[in-house]
């Protein structure tokens, strides 16, 4: 990402000011087709809304021919303080598991015919311990966002965003507290499986981070660079790039929602091209979705990450588009329209 001003975040703000809106004509055409299909008006419920939403953001009759799940993997310095029940070595091990086809996300992608890309974001160089310093510099944060934008290189027509990173639910909780208010205890959850003592320790460390950076958290991008992580910054970049290229997005769980929340805090319309795949079992996710007025597609009690919730929701989006494009109209089927 080249900067005209020399301040990397200014480039991000410029993109936000130039975001395209929905194609109202494409939405109108999709809605008109819905009324002609062999079903009572509105009888497919939210599936109809999804098809119209896809049309509005793709700017044409909706299709899902090149869906992809992008999983961003990063490590966090704060993980060394015990905010997770697992060591940071698990992040690398899981990236290798993705490559070998052995993870849950591999099975879901295979089931729904979704592409899968996994991005190793300098796993051997964790971000700074947010309880003692900023996660990274403005330049490094912006560069990571720019790297995340590269996930659109294959020109997908539906982008699902997931993550992998030991310690990242602590980081996400810190971001939510900074953006939406409250204490660390209001947002911190069990993550990978803390017991009560571990949960208390995790909340205390997140609160240390919030106290350390207090007074510098009025700017959402500053929240991201001080409290975030590489997988979160890359997710912010991916969501923004998808908007610029008119690619609909499905956001995964707690951690990717924290990335989305940064954009929402900058401009509430910045997520209009996004669906939220599911509400996770992680404490605070439902509250965050409510703060952004977002209704998830699924509620399955999941908290795995990896993009699994987004990938499952992609199956619903594919079905919505298939019904929209493949169903016969009343005239084609020779069925009398009751209207």
Strand 274-276 vs strand 158-164: parallel, antiparallel, or unpaired?
A: unpaired
**DSSP for 266-315?**
H-GGGGTTEEE-B--SSTTHHHHHHHTT---SB-------TTHHHHHHHH
Q: What are phi and psi of 181, to 5 degrees?
A: 90, 175
First vs last Cα of the chain: how many Å apart?
A: 54
Closest by Cα among 156, 99, 107 to 311: 107
Residue 36's CB: how many other CB atoms inside 10 A?
14
User: Are the C-beta atoms of residues 309 and 250 closer than 8 Å to each other?
Assistant: no
Which one of 52, 163, 231, 306 is the catalytic residue?
Answer: 306
Structure token pair of residue 155: 């020109």
Closest by Cα among 91, 45, 51, 109 to 252: 109
User: For residue 67, what are the contacts with CB-CB under 8 A and spacing of at least 6?
Assistant: 112, 113, 114, 115, 156, 157, 158, 159, 160, 314, 318
* CA angle at 46 for the pair 41 and 51, rounded to the nearest 5°: 85
Give the separation between CA 95 and CA 329, rounded to whole angstroms. Answer: 46
**306 given a catalytic annotation:** yes
Q: What are phi and psi of 249, to 5 degrees?
A: -125, 140
Residue 40's CB: how many other CB atoms inside 10 A?
10
Question: Any idea which residues carry the catalytic annotation?
Answer: 306
């Amino acid at each position: 990402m080249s900067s005209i001003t020399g301040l990397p975040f200014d480039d991000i703000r410029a993109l936000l000011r130039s975001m395209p809106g929905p194609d109202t004509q494409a939405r109108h055409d999709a809605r008109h087709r819905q009324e002609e299909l062999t079903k009572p008006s509105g009888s497919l419920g939210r599936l109809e809304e999804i098809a119209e939403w896809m049309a509005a953001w793709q700017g044409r009759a909706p299709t899902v021919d090149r869906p992809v799940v992008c999983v961003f993997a990063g490590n966090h310095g704060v993980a060394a303080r015990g905010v997770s029940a697992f060591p940071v070595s698990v992040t690398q091990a899981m990236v290798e598991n993705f490559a070998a086809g052995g993870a849950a996300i591999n099975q879901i992608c295979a089931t729904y015919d979704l592409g899968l890309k996994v991005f190793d974001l300098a796993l051997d160089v964790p971000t700074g311990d947010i309880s003692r310093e900023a996660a990274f510099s403005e330049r490094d944060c912006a560069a990571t966002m720019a790297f995340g934008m590269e996930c659109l290189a294959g020109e997908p027509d539906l982008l699902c965003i997931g993550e992998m990173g030991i310690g990242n639910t602590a980081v996400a909780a810190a971001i939510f507290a900074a953006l939406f208010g409250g204490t660390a205890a209001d947002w911190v959850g069990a993550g990978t499986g803390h017991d009560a003592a571990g949960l208390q320790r995790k909340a205390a460390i997140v609160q240390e981070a919030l106290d350390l950076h207090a007074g510098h958290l009025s700017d959402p991008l500053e929240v991201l660079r001080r409290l975030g992580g590489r997988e979160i910054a890359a997710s912010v970049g991916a969501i923004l790039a998808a908007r610029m290229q008119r690619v609909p997005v499905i956001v995964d769980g707690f951690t990717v929602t924290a990335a989305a929340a940064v954009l929402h805090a900058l401009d509430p319309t910045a997520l209009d091209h996004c669906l939220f795949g599911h509400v996770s079992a992680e404490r605070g996710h439902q509250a965050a979705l409510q703060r952004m007025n977002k209704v998830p597609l699924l509620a399955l009690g999941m908290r795995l990450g990896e993009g699994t919730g987004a990938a499952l929701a992609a199956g619903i989006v594919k079905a919505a588009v298939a019904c929209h494009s493949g169903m016969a109209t009343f005239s084609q089927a020779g069925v009398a329209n009751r209207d």
